[in-house]
Structure 1
Amino acid sequence: MNGTGGAMADGGTMAEEKARAAAWFRELRDRIVAAFEALEDSQTTGPFADRAPGRFEMRETRRRGEDGSDAGGGLMSVMRGGRVFEKVGVNVSTVHGRLGPRAVQAMAARRDLPGMSEDPRFWASGISLVAHMQNPHIPAVHMNTRMFWTPHGWWFGGGADLNPCIEYAEDTAHFHATLKAACDAHDGGYYERFRAWADEYFFIPHRGRARGVGGIFYDDLNTGDWEADFAFTQAVGRAFLPAFLPIAERRRNTPWTDADRETQLVHRGLYAEYNLVYDRGTKFGLETGHDPEAVLMSLPPVAKWP
């Protein structure tokens, strides 16, 4: 659905709704960071058990408008070289300003937003997570949810997808079943629709293949009921840890070989190609002047190409 439906609250600015959404994304970030650090603490066997458990390093990020004015920012949280995680980032941001011509054109191509060229103001808040694991048997994973507002409409978007280099059917099934339960609690048609959208979105045309085993992806979600759409977006965020943590716990002590590591590094090259060439979030972040280190947080620490 396009982002033009639904009544605008507070004279069109939706100040209360924006504040609630931004607070939720920060709360979700805190939950995930705590859970990932607890997973590091509990990893007491394996090749990296003699290390100190990984901890997130945090720094604030800022966005500057075209005139140099403050245009919001966020919190970048990255863990490197842990017992379980080789690199994981969990970023939140709340930014605002005016979209440039290229961003307006790209947005207009997907949404019916009359007047956007004349009044290109925007506000956006969200959480973005990408985890690259030490053990090649644990899949990489991505999750993000966000709210976007313009004077011409609002919408939610996001999703989660699993990216194993060595696939286990039961892991894929668990991940999808958890996301399906979250979707079904809100709309019986959401899972199939958003699963198919993920398959299309996370496809790499120049390789002729998907980057992983899918998940769900949605954008432009505006049913006209902000509360319902926000509740669904929260449900997607809440489903992430139950979808991923059992897989990480199941695979973290699986022995791996040099060949497994090679497979993992080549698969990471595929992941990097997708994020640099096709990912909308990467393009939007760089084009709108957000902190490039935060935007490129998704890239793996080490990758190879055959």
Structure 2
Amino acid sequence: MSDLMDDQKARASAWFRELRDQIVAAFEGLEDTQETGPFASGSPGRFEMTRTTRTAEDGSDAGGGLMSVMRGGRVFEKVGVNVSTVHGTLGAAAQQSMAARGVPGMDTDPRFWASGISLVAHMQNPHTPAVHMNTRMFWTPGAWWFGGGADLNPCIEYDEDTAQFHAAMKAGCDPHGAEYYDRFKAWADEYFYIPHRNRARGVGGIFYDDHNTGDWEADFAFTQDVGRAFLPAFLPVTEKRRDTGWTDADKDRQLVHRGLYAEYNLVYDRGTKFGLATGHDANAVLMSLPPMAKWV
């Protein structure tokens, strides 16, 4: 069983890296084809890649990953696509949190392994929505599970864009369960809600966590299809809106909306809390924050 799980971990980690490569190539392709607008005269944006590391409490190597960030592009003002595979022992707070969630054995054995991809894009054009996507696998000696999802975060909403994004995410869910999309859409609506603002941070998508049906292959296949659904969900919306003209008022609206996004990620986001609590590279964990934001 241990050898099997080691193989499954390796397959999951390799898939997240493969998905990262596909997305980076697609985003650089968008940069290459942007020929109009105020940023078209500049060089097409390219990702800068930095190796990240996680250091265990005893100073030993505990894994790491690859942080890929593009800044100041023709289409993307800032976009990060990170992958990581880390392992070690959870700190007391994280261990207690997982034990409280009912993770088997976590009250006595705090070892863990985690791998995943995390993406956040902030756009130049206010009419082109920001977006988030992540998928991951988590293992402890007593359990394993998958989690992730994607959600769209426009500052200027278009109903047809929302419908297109959700249709693509539904197409990724439907082969795995007739109820998956409705269940995970409702979870996203709850998860990406900002209580202190009494509103959602965007127009939703899907979100799932602690996903373990008992069939690792089926759950991995579902997580792969969530990842594969991302580009068909996001690229058409971007291509449709990236040449739309905008005003100073539109840009101001975008900056205020980014403040909302930053508030959510710093106060509520599980991934941010886990990354900082477990000693992962802080720059990689906070990659999701926008380059500029505004509060009224």
Aligning the two structures, in what range does the TM-score lie when normalised by the shorter sequence?
over 0.9
Q: Give, in whole Å, the separation in 2 of the partners of 1:166 and 1:205.
A: 21
Report if aligned partners of 2:12, 2:220 keep a CA contact under 8 Å in 1: yes
Give the share of equivalent positions with the same residue, in percent.
Answer: 80
| Length-normalised TM-score, structure 2 | 0.99
Runs of 4+ in 1 over 4 A off after TM superposition: none
- Alignment map for 1:1-306 (pairs within 5 Å): 9-10=1-2, 14-110=5-101, 112-306=102-296
Deviation at 1:185, TM superposition (A): 1.1
Question: What code does the residue aligned with 1:107 have?
Answer: M
Q: Indicate if the aligned counterparts of 2:104 and 2:143 stay in contact, CA closer than 8 A.
A: no
The Cα offsets for residues 118-167 of structure 1, whole Å up to 9 and x where unpaired, read as: 21000000000000000000000000000000001000000000000000
Aligned equivalents of 1:103, 1:214: Cα separation in 2: 27
1:55-111 Cα shifts (integer Å, max 9, x gaps):
00001000000000000000000000000000000000000000011001111222x
Partners in 2 of 1:186 and 1:281 — Cα distance? 25
Q: Distance in 2 between matches of 1:234 and 1:157?
A: 11
Output the CA distance in 1 between the equivalents of 2:98 and 2:104: 11
Gaps of 5+ in 2: none
The one-letter code sitting in structure 1 at the alignment partner of 2:174 is: D
Give the Cα–Cα distance (whole angstroms) in 2 for the partners of residues 195 and 113 of structure 1: 24
Distance 2:105 2:291 in 1: 42
Measured in 2, the distance between the counterparts of 1:22 and 1:222 equals 17
Cα distance in 1, alignment partners of residues 18 and 246 from structure 2: 35
Alignment check: 8 A CA contact 2:82 2:118 kept: yes
Q: CA deviation at 1:10?
A: 2.4
How many pairs does the alignment contain? 296
* 2:279 counterpart SS class: coil
Distance 1:115 1:261 in 2: 50
1:168 Cα shift? 0.3
Query: Residue 197 of structure 2 aligns to a residue in which SS?
Result: coil
In 1, Cα distance between equivalents of 2:105 and 2:30? 48
Higher relative contact order (CA 8 A, sep 6+): 1
In the TM superposition, residue 48 of structure 1 has moved relative to its aligned partner by: 0.4
Q: Secondary structure at the match of 2:36?
A: coil
Q: Measure, in 2, the Cα distance between the counterparts of 1:34 and 1:88.
A: 13
Structure 1 unmatched ranges of 5 or more: 1-8
Superposition deviation, residue 51 in structure 1: 0.3
Instruction: Give the distance between the partners of 1:109 and 1:178, measured in 2 at CA.
Output: 34
Give me the CA root mean square deviation.
0.8
CA contact (8 A) 2:113 2:138 kept: yes
What displacement does 1:115 show? 2.6
After TM superposition, the score normalised by the length of structure 1 is: 0.96
